[in-house]
Structure 1
Amino acid sequence: MIKDIETYLQNSQNAVSLIPTNKVAELAEAIMHAYHEGSTIYTMGNGGSGATASHVAGDYVKGASFGLEKRFRFICLNDNIPALMAISNDISYEAIFEEQLKNFARPGDLVIGLSGSGNSKNIVNALQWAKNQGIKTAALTGYKGGLCAQIADISIHIPMSDMEIVEDLHMMTFHAIKRYITNTLLGENPGMGAVYDQRIK
């Protein structure tokens, strides 16, 4: 048991170097741009990637926005269960994210898809639709990157075939971006320092 745990942790540590930091910085800039423009950022994923997409939206709706007069506009497309079930049942599961984007997404927004394989059809369809509308897209993938990595304007590809570690690194990527963004906004709002200290205690 100890050996299995140590192996997993060691493999995770080794994999951190696979994160393309230049692309992470590019996504951070895109998120900041959307914030300053008052645009909406959409996240989406299936399974564990869906959990990460939801976690990220929560981080910005509350964590990165708390105490700021200007707030982040973040929506996770896999959080509206009735809409997901209706679209899946009446149209197809492959359309669950694309159909929601048709309701909400506008030029200037940012659409972020998470897919371990990069070939989840519902993520591929949503990214392609957004791209066709001239909306900026980003994808976080693993394995060989798949179609998502090819479609997205910003591709953060973790080239390894271990889903758990890929998911771990995707979460680390978003936490690194959030740390940069929070520090940047606190720098622009020095009076926020005390509020930040209080909210993490």
Structure 2
Amino acid sequence: MKCPFENFYGKFEAIADTPEWARLQEDFNQSEYIYVVGNGGNMAVASHAAADVTRLTGKKTFCLDSQSLMTSFANDFGYDNIFARWLNFYAVDTDKKSMVLGYSGSGNSKNVLGALDWAHNQHNFSAHLFSGVKSLALSEGINEIVCDMHYFHTHEIMSVMTFYELVYGSG
């Protein structure tokens, strides 16, 4: 039996032709600061994205990948608030165009959605969710790219593909 990969490449090509993707690409191109969040394997994707986007584009790209800081925030503010609190500490001193990109296989990760809500309420931020399935809890006005993936591993593969496509699309 083969591992189900859900035709991820065909789905990715379809996603890249949507208005939601065009909005994500435009905001990525215009942003000087990019903050990437996710849980589990998507946290690894977020960390990898922060490194490669910075290296390949020169954009200042960040991820909360400090275990000490993450567990401290989880203990002090609750796990649902770790990314919003991190952004509150690290992303407030910029008047440059910025964005938060959240990865969530379920589309409903409270801590990821909290970070997107935080960004949506700032004057110079855009907020984007790359979800495996349509979110049932996303606030209105936040851009969602739904990849229609039902397995965590295929969503993570698609998540990796997103930031390389964004880099490629930025010229």
TM-score (norm 1): 0.73
- Alpha-carbon distance, 1:109 to partner: 1.8
**Matching residue within 80, 87, 98 for 1:94:** 80
RMSD across aligned C-alpha pairs, in angstroms? 2.1
- Alpha-carbon distance, 1:120 to partner: 0.7
Whether 1:84 and 2:70 are equivalent positions in the alignment is yes
Cross-structure match for 1:161: 150
Cross-structure match for 2:17: 21
Could you tell me the percent identity over the aligned residues?
31
**Matching residue within 1, 4, 28 for 2:2:** 4
Higher helix fraction (1 or 2)? 1
Cross-structure match for 2:108: 119
Preserved contact between residue 34 and residue 110 of structure 1 (Cα < 8 Å): yes
Q: Deviations over 1:139-161 (max 9, x none)?
A: 1001233324x446321111232
Q: Distance in 2 between matches of 1:113 and 1:14?
A: 22
AA partner of residue 4 (structure 1): K
- Alpha-carbon distance, 1:46 to partner: 0.3
Preserved contact between residue 143 and residue 162 of structure 1 (Cα < 8 Å): no
If you compute each CA radius of gyration, which structure gives the higher value, 1 or 2? Answer: 1
Preserved contact between residue 81 and residue 111 of structure 2 (Cα < 8 Å): yes
Q: Distance in 2 between matches of 1:111 and 1:13?
A: 24
Cross-structure match for 1:179: 168
5+ residue gaps, structure 2: none
Cross-structure match for 2:119: 130
AA partner of residue 30 (structure 1): D
Q: What secondary structure, in the 3-state scheme, does the structure 2 residue paired with 1:140 have? A: strand
Preserved contact between residue 115 and residue 141 of structure 1 (Cα < 8 Å): yes
Q: Distance in 2 between matches of 1:11 and 1:145?
A: 21
Q: Deviations over 1:136-190 (max 9, x none)?
A: 1111001233324x44632111123222212211221221111222xx2xxxxxx
AA partner of residue 91 (structure 1): F
- Alpha-carbon distance, 1:101 to partner: 0.8
**Matching residue within 60, 85, 98 for 1:73:** 60
Preserved contact between residue 117 and residue 146 of structure 1 (Cα < 8 Å): no
Preserved contact between residue 110 and residue 136 of structure 1 (Cα < 8 Å): yes
Number of corresponding residues: 166
5+ residue gaps, structure 1: 66-71, 185-201
TM-score (norm 2): 0.85
Segments ≥4 residues shifted beyond 4 Å = none
Cross-structure match for 2:131: 141
Provide closer, same or farther for how the CA distance between residues 12 and 109 of structure 1 changes in structure 2, counting only shifts above 3 A. closer
Q: What secondary structure, in the 3-state scheme, does the structure 2 residue paired with 1:21 have? A: coil
Q: Distance in 2 between matches of 1:180 and 1:18?
A: 15
Preserved contact between residue 112 and residue 138 of structure 1 (Cα < 8 Å): yes
Preserved contact between residue 127 and residue 151 of structure 1 (Cα < 8 Å): no
AA partner of residue 68 (structure 2): P
